[in-house]
Amino acid sequence: MKTPVSWIREYVDLPDGVTTEDLTRRLTALGLKLEAIESTGADITGPLVIGRVLTMQPEPQKNGKTINWCTVDVGAANGTGEPQGIVCGAHNFAPGDLVVVVLPGGVLPGGFEISARKTYGHVSAGMICSARELGLGEDHDGIIVLPADAGEPGADAFDVLGLGEEVIEFEINPDRAYALSVRGVAREAALAYGAPYRDPAARSVPAPNGEGYPVVIDDPAGCPVFVARTVSGFDPAAPTPDWMARRLQQAGMRPISLAVDVTNYVMLETGRPIHGYDGDKLQGPIRVRRARAGERLTTLDGVDRSLSAGPAGDLVVTDDSGIIGLGGVMGGETTELSESTTTIVVEAAHWDAVAMFRTGKRHKISSEAGKRNERGADPAITPAAADRVVELLTTHGGGTAEPGVTVVGTAPARPTITIGYDLPALITGMAIDAATTVANLEAVGCVLVKADTTLTATPPPWRPDLNDPFDLVEEVARIVGYDQVPSVLPREAAGRGLTREQRLRRRVGRTLAGAGCVEVISFPFVGDAAFEALGLAADDPRRRTVRLANPLSSEEPSYTTTLLPGLLRAAARNLGRGASGVSLFETGTVAFPVDRGPAPIYGVDWRPTADEVAKLFEALPDQPLHLAVVLAGERERAGWWGPGRESGWSDAIALVRRLGAELGVGVDVAAATRTPWHPGRCAQLGVGGEVLGHAGELHPKVCQAFGLPQRSAALEIDLDTLMRQAREVTPGPDFSTYPLAKEDVALVVDRSVTAAEVGAALREGAGDLLESIRLFDVYTGEQVGTGRKSLAFALRFRAPDRTLTEEETAAARDAAVALAAERTGAVQRS
């Protein structure tokens, strides 16, 4: 909502010295959020003056264009007092007219500098300006012709044009429809400063009679009030007054014609949408009803629309010829105001907000009138708004107000609300006494009936958003000021703190951060495109998703079953913006649908029992907590210390092992095949006999689909499973002061045997003396035979109470090799 400050000041006496910045701060505190402050003409500098055209000589050009060589009296503004010679391409003015002239040295919007230059055979010393060139509108074909009494030649044109006037743009919340008008904004300004307020809708209006244009309401619930007034003898060629056109432009609306501009002006002024019909095109009485099956209407935007029938269908306005408008949303072409309109029937009607919203959404119509009607306009000012339109049409259009006044229906009564005097204080925590509660509610327009401990409020008709006691609490609190809400830290019960899950999740996050990973948060929504990019088969369980009732995007309508799509996109985005390598992780829930029937729907007027709550949770999908990591590009940078290293599958597995060590859980690793990992380079991870997840190198097609470098790695595990088996306190290692004994063994096994299987057998066979085991080499070649491989392990032995002898070390080594040979068929390589 754009509102000129001067228009606000017409209805409220702001204190002296109040700046626009002060005003916007106060209004923002009351709930009208500042979007921007604009100043028309702020980027115009230099001499901009009133000029009188003395002569204009048309000169046809070779290119077919005719220009006018003009002499313009600019008084003493040019320093000489002599007429100024200016070339102008417009033709909508004549000698004797007052125009706006920018002289050499001036700068127009966009940095357009004006200087004396030769053009079309003349030296043009300045420019005669159009509204578009001054940033006042879109009209570029004709220059601005000022009223005859605008001022003397050479006078400053800034004030005449309203340049330099400040316009405030507010972001209006949907529940504050009253603020979509200068009337509402001015009321809030008066509230902010406790200043006198003059309601533009508070006017004396003629009483309804039986002489007005006939109106019949078939659906009073959809249209409770309909006011019709008629203006005859209207001059369709009458121009819109400059002050009105300027205010419409400042409010973001384009002037069209006097009749249309007046209805738009009154809508901006009062918040009440108005519609005008060409009275000579109306046939019979106006009737409001619901649309019927098969009916159509061509609206003012030229669109032929199929209307929705039924009790919740479109509200339409008709006459004997058929449908002439979508009630409260947009009029029809057949009765549109035109250049030949001399009789105007003015409609000021109140419409059901829900019906307006449905019609606007159904037909995808977004209009200024519809925006106000669907949010709830003031039903009590329809006679005043219609009378204001009639006043402006007759004043500036030369018409006559017909004596007939039609008013059908009455404004709906507002229900009362009972509230305790102490409720605002109890809810907000502020020290709000009964007197403050009463004063603030009266200030917003409520009519109060007071009792000993409660008061009953009737909200004003312009506030349809006030419906329960807590709405009134909000009104009281916003006037007191949300900045007065005390800051009180909640006191935590003794002996409590973070839950076990919270502590474990923090340990996981710290461990991954220590490993060089960065946490990201992505949207947990997916579509078929993400599953296709991952290469998931049609029958993959991860394709069976929980669909959202109201998704943010039709392309991603489901809750995800895997964290990888969002994480892979984030990795590709960062690599595409210059990162040499990424290590990203994310923790979040995924959802798997369950067939337990629909969730029960309970009322809101009682607290559900424990059994009812259990049934609600039973109907929810399974939502395990997952952890995913993506490693791509550089893992270790190159430098003077040596070459760098790319991320690989082993880094992903190492991260899970590191997490297991941090949480005191042993992680089992076994070869596996699972999409989207590369076959043969994927590991299944397990803890305590449960499958934890998978890690490894991503399939090349997946890397290509997401724009990642080849051999990028990823892992995804069930974090709930890992944390369920985690230890609260991980036991520290046992230290021995005795020397370490080193033994290396190389074992030849079939290629199908994993290093993990061999390592597990060696560890068990070596016994308690084994301190650590590490695979340091894998060899395949002729020396070990076809289909075989050599695995070299470093065994480290140490006793806690003595120095090991060579015999003890050799015996432990031999026992380890023997068990590995027994379980895996390993043969020690000489």
Q: What kind and span of H or E run contains 259?
A: helix 258-270
Residue 11 near residue 200, CB atoms below 8 Å: yes
Say yes or no: 366 and 281 in one domain. Answer: yes
Q: Is it true that the peptide bond before 676 is cis, omega within 30 degrees of 0?
A: yes
Single-letter amino acid, residue 374: E
- Outline where 558-699 has alpha helix (H): 564-576, 610-618, 649-663
Number of domains the chain is built from: 6
Question: Would 679 be classed as within a structural domain?
Answer: yes
Instruction: Say if 627 falls within a structural domain.
Output: yes
Separation between Cα atoms, residue 511 and residue 102, nearest integer Å: 69
Q: Is residue 642 part of a domain?
A: yes
Adjacent-strand bridge partners of 715: 629, 695
| Span 132-164, pLDDT tens digits | 888 776 664 578 888 888 889 999 888 888 787
Q: What is the pTM of this model?
A: 0.63
Sign of CA dihedral 527, 530, 535, 536: negative
Domain final residue, candidates 409, 438, 461: 409
Phi, psi (deg, nearest 5) at residue 226: -140, 120
Q: What are the DSSP E strand ranges found in 596-755? A: 625-636, 645-646, 668-672, 677-687, 690-698, 713-718, 741-750
- Residues 703, 766: one domain? no
Contact between residue 114 and residue 127 where contact means Cβ atoms under 8 Å apart: yes
Residues 327, 431, single domain; the answer is no
Phi, psi values for residue 589, rounded to 5° = -85, 150
User: In three state form, how does the secondary structure of 494-525 look?
Assistant: CCCCCCHHHHHHHHHHHHHHHCCCEECCCCCE
Per-residue confidence (pLDDT) for residue 497, from 0 to 100 = 78
Beta partners for residue 309, in sequence order: none
Nearest to 135 by CA among 44, 60, 61: 44
Give, as one character, the DSSP assignment of residue 419. Answer: E
Tokens 């019979």 belong to which residue? 284
Q: Determine the pLDDT at residue 138.
A: 65
DSSP code, position 332: B
CB 188 within 8 A of CB 25: no
Q: Are 227 and 376 in the same domain?
A: yes
Q: What share of the chain is helix, strand, coil (3-state, %, to 5)?
A: 30, 30, 45
Q: What backbone torsions phi and psi does residue 34 show, to the nearest 5 degrees?
A: -70, 130
Three-state secondary-structure class, residue 376: coil
Contact (CB, 8 A) for 133 and 108: yes
User: Do 522 and 646 sit in the same domain of this protein?
Assistant: yes
Pairing status of strand 296-298 against strand 2-4: unpaired
> Would residue 489 count as lying in a domain?
no
Q: Contact 652/631 with Cβ under 8 angstroms?
A: yes
DSSP state letter for 156:
B
CA of 500: how far to CAs of 503, 661, 720, 727, 728, in Å? 5, 18, 12, 10, 8
DSSP H helices, 321-463, are 353-363, 368-375, 382-397, 423-428, 434-443
- Coil, strand or helix: which one is 704? helix
The amino acid at residue 642 is G
Contact 278, 337 (CB under 8 A): yes
Distance, CA of 590 to CA of 562 (rounded, Å): 6
What is the C-alpha separation between 579 and 273, in angstroms, rounded?
Answer: 55
- Amino acid 582 reads V
d(CA 155, CA 559): 67
> Nearest to residue 726, comparing CAs of 690, 753, 770, 679?
690
Contact 821, 827 (CB under 8 A): yes
Same-domain pairing of 351 and 422:
no
Query: Do 269 and 251 touch, CB atoms closer than 8 A?
Result: no
Compute the chain's Rg from CA coordinates: 40
Report if residue 382 sits inside a domain. Answer: yes
**What CATH number is given to the structural domain containing 98?**
2.40.50.140
Residue stretches of the chain with pLDDT short of 70: 137-141, 492-495
What ranges make up the beta strands (E) of 673-811?
677-687, 690-698, 713-718, 741-750, 770-779, 788-797
With respect to residue 154, please indicate whether it lies within any of the assigned structural domains: no
Do the bridges between strand 344-350 and strand 275-278 make them parallel or antiparallel, or are there none, so unpaired? antiparallel
Asked if residue 639 and residue 506 are part of one domain, the reply reads yes
Match 């800034």 to its residue by tokens.
158
- State both tokens at 319: 């006459």
Look at residue 113 and give its three-state secondary structure: strand
* Beta-ladder partners of 631: 583, 713
Q: Domain check: are 22 and 141 in the same one?
A: no
- Is-contact 650 635, C-beta < 8 A? no
Q: How many beta carbons lie within 10 A of that of residue 95, not counting itself?
A: 12
734: in domain:
no
Longest CA span, the chain: 123
pLDDT of residue 730: 81
> Could you tell me how many residues make up the chain?
830
Q: Which domain holds residue 19?
A: 2-40+165-193
436 and 387, same domain (yes or no)? no
Pairing of strands 117-119, 145-146: unpaired
Q: Do 558 and 668 fall within a single domain?
A: yes
107 lies in some domain = yes
Report the amino acid identity of residue 186: A
Q: Are residues 534 and 668 in the same domain?
A: yes
* Residues forming a β-bridge with 827: 748
Q: Given 377, 409, 441, which residue is the final one in a domain?
A: 409
Residue with tokens 């017909």: 402
Residues paired with residue 773 on neighbouring β-strands, in sequence order = 795
Q: Which two tokens stand for residue 256?
A: 């069209």
Bridging pattern class, strands 286-290 and 215-217:
parallel
- Of 725, 752, 782, the one marking the end of a domain is 725
Domain of 467, CATH number, reads 3.30.56.10
- How far, in Å, CA of 550 to CA of 589, rounded? 19
Token couple for 360: 């606007």
Residues 6 or more apart in contact with residue 461 via CB below 8 angstroms? 378, 379, 380, 381, 411, 414
Give the type of residue at 640: W
Residues 114 and 256 in one domain: no
Cβ(354)–Cβ(338) under 8 Å? no
Q: Residue 556: helix, strand or coil by DSSP?
A: strand
Rounded CA gap, 700 and 708, in Å? 9
| pLDDT score for 442 | 94
